[in-house]
Structure 1
Amino acid sequence: MLAGGKRAVERHTVVNKKLLVRDRLKKIMDKDSPFLELSKTAGLGMDYGNFPGAGIVTGIGWVNGVACMMLANDATMTGGTYFPITVTKYIRAQEISESLHIPAIFLVDSGGVFLPLQAQCFPDKKQGGTIFYRQAIASSKGIPQIAIVGGSCHAGGAYIPTMADEAIIVDRIGTLFLGGPPLVKAATGEIVSEEELGGASMHCRVSGCMDYFSGNEEEALSSCRDIVASLNIPSEEISKDISVQLPLFPSSDLTALSGVEERDRSTTLEIIARIVDGSRFHEFKPLFGANLVTGFAFLDGQLIGILGHHGALTSADALKGCHFLFLCDLRGIPVIFLHNSPLDRQTSADSHPEDLGIALKDKAKMAATVSNMQVPKIAVTVGACLEDDCYTMCGPGFQPWLNFAWPLACLSMKQDTEDFKRWKSEMKDFNVEAGNLDFDFPVGSAFHASCNTLIDGVILPEHTRKVLSLSLSVIRQGQETIKRKQVTTSAVLRIVETVTSKTTHVQAGHPTLTPDRKTHLDELIRNDRRLTPDK
């Protein structure tokens, strides 16, 4: 159905070089996936005209074997703008997504509300802002909200991706702002381009409103499929696709990486590539928060979230960490923290006190998020865990379920690490397995922390994957046991068989025995040698 007509389709595909809405859906869904389209005739016969499909395509399709609700703007219909019937159709799709508890995927390409009818789009309970309200409610119920900005996303519609759990934007095609360049010029006199005001680079690098930067639509749709694979929603197709694979790079490389003095983002990614299945890592917000790497991966078939830092956390890093940890907690995904603080932590000389205060506030938020997470948390110090990184990155005081460190690691609340640096140079040839304990381990070293039970052990770098795999296995077993446990209101009650072959439950504590009951117990003791004291 060419809802907007041939001229609109030509402008959309040839001039704007964008995929049609149904082509987008085909590329995001599994091959040969059925598509249960909803409300196809919505928008016909309205008082204000005929608008086929109401300018939006909604329906249920399968992505990586997971049933998802698709809500996709048709930009060939008056630029994808919203009519009152569009809002009604949109909200109905959200209601179905919520009642079925299936993820919602928003393909955003809209100029906002159709201005001549805007008065009919906002006042009622089931119009306008209800879309954003339902996004928030669904997310709080653990129903994933995913958005792709593949065109205009202006005015009130800009709230859809910014209120999503995860959002993708296409470079040079997607734009996001409340008021466009003409409005900015009219209000302030400033001349600014759409890219400068709300382009992909700005929102991924500066504002942080978008989580994933995509060079083209195909990359964005593929990224969305990766997000669905990381939702921790069981599906037959996912279980077939994630057969356990060894990392593509040898674990022996980790020994060399453990001795690297200056670590950066690439070093963190190299460590991850030698730990996770198939060296595959779906990074979250890669362009925002430069000192913190976050993302999803599989380890021995178990979906995990990973946070690894390689510098002092900034405000952007902390906000990124909060967002990622909240997603992991919401989806029940275990989290691995890779500690890697720089030994020489320096505050920039041109940092303003206000900026430092904002960073402190945001790092406090991250520390609070770490404290209140319910999912398993495992920490591995691969380099150092210093100062307030011990808080934000789940150091010993924040009770990780298991906590390990590499031999040359440093854990300290002090910035003065000169003693550790000297000791570290002596330790490079130290053989952990030989059990040489002649060293005087300085405060802050991994061995000192292990000796004082601040961590759960020192592990060889090449054993990291094996140790994490065993840890996850043990945690998984414990969680299954908890699921099977029936809720009780007291301790285990001992059961005593009486001489009348009836069962008597002796209550916890010291109950008063009735004469009849006391007689039964005395007779039982006399007739059972196991209960008679030795003479």
Structure 2
Amino acid sequence: MTTLRSTLDASSPEYSEAAEAMVTKLAEVEGEFAKAIDGGGPEKLARHRKRGKLTARERIDLLVDEDSPFLELCPLAAWGSDFHVGASVVAGIGIVEGVECMIVAPDPTVRGGTSNPWTLRKTLRVNDIVRANRLPVISLVESGGADLPTQKEVFVPGGQMFRDLTQLSAAGIPTIALVFGNSTAGGAYIPGMSDHIVMIKERSKVFLGGPPLVKMATGEESDDESLGGAEMHARVSGLADYFAVDEADAIRIGRSIVKRLNWRKQGPAPRAEVIEPLYDSEELVGIVPSDLKVPFDPREVIARVVDGSDFDEFKPLYGGSLVTGWAELHGYPIGILANARGVLFSEEAQKATQFIQLANRSNTPLLFLHNTTGYMVGKEYEQGGIIKHGAMMINAVSNSTVPHLSVLLGASYGAGHYGMCGRAFDPRFVFAWPSAKSAVMGGAQLAGVISIVSRAAAEARGKPFDEQADAGIRAMVENQIEAESLPMFMSGRIYDDGVIDPRDTRTVLGMCLSAIHNAPIKGAEGFGVFRM
């Protein structure tokens, strides 16, 4: 039998302590997410409504199919920066007329929906997801263009947004723009470079230069409507493909466009019957200890995520610090690599390499569940070939072409983060639990290394070592690394696609797997040279 048997004791003090810590962290995340939902605040929201307009999130709610989920991506982008949480844009995957689409909606209540450096980074990440997974794009446009005070960081790289739109169209990925308000200057090219454009009577304004700029540049007197109004573009310029009477009508037309796309997924369909896990997903909140130095069994997570808690483990007696095996999730086949005891040894690296090759041979997507402090160090392990074995694993991850999903459960440090398919290795999606931490190494270790190096330098110069100053530096460094390794900090920098509630893991991964199968699933036919 391959059905996992859980030994988790939800009544134990250890479980209660872990669950309490997780709930506290979830409350912190939800508090920050509330800032993104609030947009520009009550005053800006009231002004927006006074103009008879819906918010970005209300437009999305009307656009997606009734009672269908919306997987918001990078909701904490720009957290910890000078810019608004969420980076002034709402983005995520929603189902429109039965079709999974990427929906991108600037928030006009935050600085007029203008694009700041974090808006750009978030949008480019969204475009990467669109391209890799062949998701039709619906842009709900209402934006003042670039945030002028930060234009030096937006203007030059911002051209990638327009390049992406045209390349998506060339790749046969539909792009749809519903224009709800201003789309000016460079922002005019978002509808201009989309396949389908809907404009709204007396609301949509699309022009390269507004009346003040035209006056300054040419001396010509003009008004918004004649220069870039919806009726002009529908009747005269031909830029508008559809003319809507109001916002609700524009959304209706947008849904109709999607319905007529004749969109078909190119990946294999899931098994029709989906079997729920045998164990309660509510118990996921208490699996990861509050102290990440304490190990936990990732099989307890797997048992609450995969179909029927059915997991066919690969090489269970070899390389025990890494659990590998086959399962299904919402009917989709998947291979799983999950860290069991943190450190990766040569055996784990070789086991992972073989498993990744097998997944590519069978065209099976891979799920990486992170809880690693990295590859093992020390004379014995260096002599045993840990570098070349770790390189084998990273080589396999780098050249694997089946879709990868990553979820950071606990620690994700050093080269172990790379071997487990961190952000730099282009996973299709990467999420973090509130318990996750990610950095080059743990804060205490990094502070200790700096201390040892400083002590050696002082001895080499023949100078006394200042123990008091060293203690202060170690504390400062440790606190800094601790703060910078937390999931909200990492998510704020768009190093993941969102911090998720552990209890939602199965749903989130199921939605991602469904989106992934819009594109063909094809494994690699060759890898780089493995240093044996």
TM class by smaller structure: 0.3 to 0.5
Output the TM-score relative to the length of structure 1.
Answer: 0.42
**Which structure exhibits the higher relative contact order, with contacts defined as CA atoms closer than 8 Å and separated by 6 or more residues?**
2
Structure showing greater Rg: 1
Output the TM-score relative to the length of structure 2.
Answer: 0.42
